Amino acid sequence: MSEDDATPDDAGTAAGDSASDAANEDEGVVRRDRFAGGPAREFMSSLAADRRIFDADLAVDRAHVLMLAEQEIVAEDTAGEILAALEDIEAAVDEQGYDAVLSDGEDVHEAIETAVIERVGPEGGRMHTARSRNDEVATCIRYRLREDVLDVLEAVAETREALLEAAEAHSETLLPGYTHLQPAQPITVGFWLASYEAALARDVSRLLDAFTRINESPLGAAAFAGTTFDVDRRQTAALLGFDGVVENAMDAVSTRDFLLETAGALSALSTTLSGMAEDLVVYSNRGFVDLDDDYASTSSIMPQKKNPDSLELVRAVAGDAAGAHQALATTLSGLPRSYNRDLQRAGPHVWSVIDDVASAVDVAGGAVATADWNAEACAAAAGEGFSTATGVADLLAQSGVPFRTAHEVVAVAAEDVAGLEGDDPSGGAADPDAAIEVLDDAAFAVLGESITDAVDESALRSALDPVESVASRDSAGGPAPDAVEEAIASAKADLEDDLVATVATRKSLEGAAERLDSEVSEYV
């Protein structure tokens, strides 16, 4: 994906002037014998990596040639021959493979142009009139990236749907809530699942926002300073399904900030997935959840093992994404305007990460959708570590005890209450009678009175019960089943809105592709 040294004015004729000689002598039509060999040629080539944007390049070529014909810059007959050659190249690649058909050239753009000239003759070189490889490659990257981002958005939508379905099914399934990986407060599986759906919704918002800046066309900016030809940039943008153009020609070919923004959004998404994967690994270790065999493996030597290693790889993708984002930022930092060959190294950072993140989304979503939650083990653990302590302190505060004083009462009792849990071989919360006795001693020590003088005993027993504790925290966004169900309903509506936006965008791009094919068919 290299830049074009030809100026916009001679871009349409330079290739044609010596096209026959170039083809006969097996030299590129763009560089020719001025830069004929040496060890740098292979180092500079991006032809193999450009396989990803081959289809995009064909679309960009077609739109550009159609515009040249409509603007009477290139004769209709010549445009028809070029468009027919492009169809022939596409068919040949489908039949013989990319490497077999496009073996000559330092990038896919030169290789396609060379192949066109081989089929059409010198007139084929007119396809490059009024453009540079600078604006061409920038357009190809954006064209392909749009599809990749939409693929990720659709994958995330499926995962969000899986999370919400599971959350709905487990809105009352107790689960220990942790901070610092220590027992903190009882929650539910549904509450935990909904928390990750909410994070994924923000990740989608970032990607959708980035898409608006991806979906602008640089085509027609030429090398960086525009062109003397009467091009119609908005026509090529429309033919390719872009919402508009990057107005400033220098900015159009120089900027890769849309890549950086996309990489950042992917990094954030992978971080969300990494946290979810880590929680599932921990929950699997503690017997709260059993992953489907499709998302686990056994040991090569220890036959009893069931390892959640697909989720460990999901966890690791976050490191790759963060590294790619940083590598891209480093590549782009301090570059002068306008095109610099450093930019050839920019795209691959995003291509590799977007594939990895898309796979991680599928794996994480599949693991959640097929997981089997052990409700009994979750409920037993939900009350461990005196996890209902905050509810007891809140109850005292609601009865008129200053919260800090209430906090002190419960803190004095906490270690002894937690110690009572060991008396029950099945695990779980301490026996409420024994817990109240310990709390009573703490209340006398701090308040100078029995705890049941400060609060109703039945209310105290409810506060100590993990199920009642969860149900009592029914503030907006809380873990109470009713609150979770309200959150799920709202999240479903937001998911539907995001799906509508994604589907509409996909259909818009498909419609543009159909219109492009239709206009091409009038010439071929």
Q: Which residues are catalytic?
A: 180, 299
Half-sphere CA count of 524, side-chain side, radius 13 A: 16
Q: Which of 481, 468, 501, 319 has the alpha carbon at shortest distance from 391?
A: 468
Peptide bond into 508 cis (omega under 30): no
Q: Which of 367, 363, 391, 360 has the alpha carbon at shortest distance from 177?
A: 391
Asked whether the beta carbons of 207 and 155 are under 8 A apart, the reply is no
Q: Count other Cβ atoms within 10 Å, centred on residue 245.
A: 20
Compute CA distances 427 → 142, 179, 335, whole Å: 56, 20, 61
**183: β partners:** 178
Q: Is 384 helix (H, G, I), strand (E, B) or coil?
A: coil
Compute CA distances 466 → 10, 258, 406, 424, 429, whole Å: 78, 48, 19, 16, 8
Question: What does the DSSP 8-state code read for residue 243?
Answer: S
Residue 358: CB partners within 8 Å, gap ≥ 6? 148, 151, 152, 155
Rounded to whole angstroms, how far apart are CA atoms 112 and 364? 39
**217: β partners:** 245
In degrees and rounded to multiples of 5, residue 175 shows phi and psi of -155, 140
**244: β partners:** 216
Q: Is 72 left (phi over 0), alpha (psi -120 to 50) or beta?
A: left
Q: Which of 359, 135, 403, 163 has the alpha carbon at shortest distance from 276?
A: 163
Q: Is 104 helix (H, G, I), strand (E, B) or coil?
A: coil
Could you tell me the two tokens for 44?
A: 């500079």
Rounded to whole angstroms, how far apart are CA atoms 307 and 281? 9
Q: Is 244 helix (H, G, I), strand (E, B) or coil?
A: strand
Rounded to whole angstroms, how far apart are CA atoms 298 and 440? 50
Asked whether the beta carbons of 224 and 253 are under 8 A apart, the reply is yes
Q: Is 387 helix (H, G, I), strand (E, B) or coil?
A: coil
Asked whether the beta carbons of 420 and 434 are under 8 A apart, the reply is yes
Compute CA distances 366 → 141, 183, 378, whole Å: 30, 28, 21
